[in-house]
Amino acid sequence: MSIKVENLTYKYMPGTPFEKTAIDDVSFEIKDGEFIGLIGHTGSGKSTLIQQLNGLLKPTSGNIYIDGECITEKGVELRKIRQKVGLVFQYPEHQLFEETIYKDVAFGPTNLGLSAEEVDERVRRALEVVGIDIEKYRDKSPFELSGGQRRRVAIAGVLAMEPKILILDEPTAGLDPRGRDEILSQIKRLHEEYKITIILVSHSMEDVAKLVNRLIVMYKGKNILMGSPREVFREVETLEKIGLGVPQVTYLARRLREKGYNIREDIITVEEA
Ligand code: ADP
């Protein structure tokens, strides 16, 4: 499913002395099946933006269209939007609450009023996607799992709702390198096999740049850069200025600049060499 964001602005506590513009006139389009990296430092507006994409927050102004349908006008059923747009919050494992892994993943689809067989099929599929062996783990408590596994079960809970768009907010936060690699490779697989639209939110360029088709770079509530990782990396100076440069690229750019090269063009040649 596609997403279109038009002149979106979000203000916290508008009209008070504490007013804070968290999203400032942001526009972009995401095509069906794209894998997007939404990147920016803490406080750049990433969470505020994604909560509007599934209707949790209502924009101060501007519009959002999901698959051509405006979700920001009055009278839109939020439940329907959330079925289409699955949002995996930061540290989603903190929201696991059922006594078994099976029940936790089954919770959402059960509430959709599906039959037991349909629920079972969804739970199996979702756990399979995140690489959790259902036979081994179904009746275990989430608390018997490692941190990375718990997070994968929490992600399976969102996947079991079979969203057409999946947004993951810092899915690797707090995991060790192994847990991080596991989660990222499962997400990659999810995109390749199921072709759903994915937005991966991160403050780490290195985590996302090698996975995604396109990057949206946020800075102080604005969408300052957008394009393929290659196109975005070309803007080394901007990335450096906002502290999002990839160290190796920044280092190479500095060396080339010292030698009198025009880095905007030449850095790409270096990458390809
Ligand atoms: P990110 O997800 O990139 O870390 P956020 O969307 O959380 O950024 O925050 C964007 C800006 O909005 C920040 O300046 C933050 O302090 C502010 N902000 C976030 N949540 C609230 C809130 N509930 N009330 C007031 N300001 C907020």
268 pLDDT higher than 60: no
Q: Which domains does the chain have, with CATH numbers?
A: 3-95+163-231 (3.40.50.300), 234-273 (no CATH)
37 pLDDT higher than 90: yes
Among residues 91, 119, 88, 90, the alpha carbon closest in space to that of 105 is found at 119
Ligand 1 mutation target, pool 11, 12, 57, 87, most atoms within 8 A of CB: 12
Q: What percent of the chain has pLDDT over 90?
A: 67
- Residue 143 DSSP label: G
Label residue 272 by pLDDT band (50, 70, 90).
very low
Among residues 87, 83, 109, 105, the alpha carbon closest in space to that of 96 is found at 105
**Over the stretch 226-258, which tens digit does the pLDDT of each residue have?**
999 888 988 877 888 888 876 666 777 778 778
Q: What angle do CA 46, 74, 197 make, to 5 degrees?
A: 40
269 pLDDT higher than 50: no
Q: Which two tokens stand for residue 205?
A: 């360029």
Residue closest via CA to ligand 1's atom 12 equals 22
Q: Which two tokens stand for residue 223?
A: 């969408």
Task: Give the per-residue pLDDT at 264.
Answer: 61
Residue closest via CA to ligand 1's atom 5 equals 45
**Over the stretch 132-176, which tens digit does the pLDDT of each residue have?**
999 999 999 999 998 889 999 999 999 999 999 999 999 999 988
List helix spans (H) across the chain: 46-53, 78-84, 101-111, 116-129, 134-137, 147-159, 177-194, 205-209, 229-233, 236-241, 247-258, 263-272
Query: Ligand 1: distance of its center to the CA of 151 in Å?
Result: 24
List C-alpha distances in Å: 40 to 14, 19, 201, 214. Answer: 24, 21, 8, 14
Binding pocket residue ranges, ligand 1, CB within 6 Å: 12, 20, 22, 40, 42-48
265 pLDDT higher than 80: no
Label residue 266 by pLDDT band (50, 70, 90).
very low
Query: Ligand 1: distance of its center to the CA of 48 in Å?
Result: 6
Q: Is the ipTM of this complex over 0.95?
A: yes
Task: Give the per-residue pLDDT at 253.
Answer: 72
The residue-averaged pLDDT of 247-271 equals: 66
